[in-house]
Structures are given as C-alpha cells and as structure tokens.
Amino acid sequence: MASISIPLAYKSHSLRRSPIYRPSQLHSPIQIKCSASKDCSNSEESSTQFKQLRNVACGFLAVWALSSVSPVIAAGQRLPPLSTDPNRCERAFVGSTIGQANGVYDKPLDLRFCDYTNEKTNLKGKSLAAALMSDAKFDGADMTEVIMSKAYAVGASFKAMDFSNAVLDRVNFEKANLQGASFKNTVLSGSTFNDAQLDGVDFEDTIIGYIDLQKICTNKTITEERKS
C-alpha cells in the first residue's frame, strides 16, 4: 500500500527513484504469485480449518445417525408381549387397515403361534404389513398377492406355501421353514433368510437385489444344482 501514498504530481526523477515500476510490479505475475502464495497460505489454513470442522461435523452426523438408527433396530428385536385378544389370529383375515408398505398400524397385528395350515381363501391379497408372525404355521396356505412388508416371521413355518405375486420386502424370515414354498414374481428386496430352510423353494421371476440374492445363495439348505 506504500505506492498509494506517493503523489503522482511530483518530479519525474522521484518517480524514477521511488518505485516507479511498483504499480506494474504489483500487476506482474511475480507479484500476483507472491500475493497468491500468501493468500493461498491463508486459504490453505482456512481450508484446513474448514476440513477439520467438516470432519467434526461429519463425525457428529455419523454418531447421530447411529444413535437414531440403533434404537429402532433394538426396538424391533424387543417384541411386545403376546396379545391377549382372543380373536387376534382371526385378524389376519382382515389384515392391516392402514400403513401397508410402511408397516404403520394402530396396534400390532399379532399372529404369533397362530395356525393357518392349508388356509386357501382368507389370506389371499391381505395386508399383513409389520405383522408379528414368529412361530406361526402357514403350511400349504394360499397367500398370493399378500402384502407382508416389514413382517417379523422368525421361526414361522411356510412349507409348500404360495407367495406368488406377493410383496414381501424387508421381511425377517430367520430360521423359518420355507421348504417347497413358491415366490414366483414376488418382491423380496431387503428380506433376510438367515438359517432358514429353503430346500425346494421356487424363486422364479423373483424381484430381489443382487446382494440379497448372494446371501440366499450361501444358504446351505439350497443344493448346488439349484444354485447353478
């Protein structure tokens, strides 16, 4: 800023002796480079501080995300007490009235330990989203076009059952017996089959993600011939 204080109306020799080329030097690449270097130093410091703040912020967001998700997962594993409603098993014939795919309901659809063996008419096309179905029996039943999103079917039995054209996304089939069940043209994205019995299951035209399919292929109850 010293060049600004030099009056331009004075003698020319003073301009020659004084930094006459200073204005041009200020606009020269060297000056710009040096100025840029200094500014870049500050910019780098600011960038470093920004990155540090960003990392801290990302850390807080990650912790928040885990803390917000974990209780939901934990809550999903802590099942409510068995319903005392004497007609709770018959509620499957009506199904969920609200929420459907999102698994929202006014009260849990508790079908645990219910027996629907060979039920051919009353379950077709019903909405059983987020139903509690662990240890229930559906052997030989017709559940075509049923909606079972987010259902909890751990340990349930679905032997020789027809799930054709059904929506079964995000269902927990852990340790369920699905021998001979049919999933033709069924949505199975996000569903889990850990330790489930899958011998003879028909997955023709099933809609499922690649990762989910790879997990199913690791199931030891599926023969190598069927995997190929």
Phi-psi region at 68: left, alpha or beta (left = phi > 0; alpha = psi -120 to 50): alpha
The structure tokens listed for 11 are: 């003698």
Condensed to tens digits (0 to 9), the pLDDT of residues 153-182 reads 999 999 999 999 999 999 999 999 999 999
Which residues, 6+ apart, have CB-to-CB distance to 185 below 8 Å? 164, 165, 204, 205, 206, 207
95 band by pLDDT with thresholds 50, 70 and 90 = confident
Comparing 121-125, 200-204, 220-224, which segment has the lowest mean pLDDT? Answer: 220-224
CATH class entry, domain 87-228: mainly beta
- Average pLDDT score over residue span 58-68: 37
The structure tokens listed for 7 are: 């009056």
| Alpha carbons 219 and 4: distance in angstroms, whole number | 81
Listing DSSP states for 119-160 in one string gives --STTTT-B-TT-B-TT-B-TT-B-TT-B-TT-B-TT-B-TT
Condensed to tens digits (0 to 9), the pLDDT of residues 189-206 reads 999 999 999 999 999 999
Whether the Cβ atoms of residue 215 and residue 190 lie closer than 8 Å to each other: no
